[in-house]
Chains A and B, each alone.
Chain A
Amino acid sequence: KAGVTQTPRYLIKTRGQQVTLSCSPISGHRSVSWYQQTPGQGLQFLFEYFSETQRNKGNFPGRFSGRQFSNSRSEMNVSTLELGDSALYLCASSWDSVNTEAFFGQGTRLTVV
């Protein structure tokens, strides 16, 4: 069974640009969550999608958005990039959105210069 796949693995962008990250969950999983990981802030919840609906959202500005497709694949978009957006972006998939084991992808390392 294939694991959670995130693409691309590494990305370098310039301030002001926008970026789209992709996450393919484990087959059969309907929930996809996104997290931002930085050395100073740890793992912070961005949002969660279940059956194409955003079920929950963290405390991030509106520049951060996401969506989920009918095949459960998810994308997150960050517009007007700032230096502080440099981080490892992790997605996690689970069978259901509530109290079931979440499996993480390898992450996308975003560097904003």
Chain B
Amino acid sequence: GENVEQHPSTLSVQEGDSAVIKCTYSDSASNYFPWYKQELGKRPQLIIDIRSNVGEKKDQRIAVTLNKTAKHFSLHITETQPEDSAVYFCAAGGWGQGGKLIFGQGTELSVKP
């Protein structure tokens, strides 16, 4: 069935370091890959997304890469700050799947000052 695996489940970095979170999806029909950030007690918020016709996308300190052949996509956060501490979720969706997003299990990122 459809599945998204996300690693690591927890990640602790020093302020200023980079953080990388990796996801693997199973459904080859997936072609939309959003990343959400969820702070404690708050709603998930989209931070960046990528579509299958693009291999990489950047937005300031955040970048996402996609390897469709390997069915891998990754989130890269550079120059991490304490306010980046949150749970990050990757997801996969696509044409024919309607609004259905399959989410990874989440990565709890802790940025230590």
- A residues with a Cβ closer than 8 A to B are 31-33, 35, 42-45, 48, 50, 55-56, 58, 90, 92, 94, 97-99, 101-107
Kindly state the separation between the CA atoms of A16 and B102 in the bound complex, as whole angstroms: 29
Q: Interface of chain A, helix or strand or loop or mixed?
A: strand
Binds A, one of B16-24, B39-47, B67-75: B39-47
Kindly state the separation between the CA atoms of A31 and B31 in the bound complex, as whole angstroms: 18
Contact count A vs B, C-beta below 8 Å: 70
Q: Which residues of A contact B106 (CB under 8 A)?
A: 42-43
Q: Which of A43, A44, A55 contacts B99 (CB 8 A)?
A: A55
Kindly state the separation between the CA atoms of A58 and B101 in the bound complex, as whole angstroms: 10
Kindly state the separation between the CA atoms of A43 and B104 in the bound complex, as whole angstroms: 8
Q: Which residues of B contact A42 (CB under 8 A)?
A: 89, 103-106
Q: Which residue of A lies closest to B36 (CB)?
A: A104
Q: Which of A92, A98, A101, A106 contacts B98 (CB 8 A)?
A: A98
Kindly state the separation between the CA atoms of A102 and B101 in the bound complex, as whole angstroms: 10
- Contacts known (A42-B89, A42-B104); A98 close to B95, Cβ less than 8 A: yes
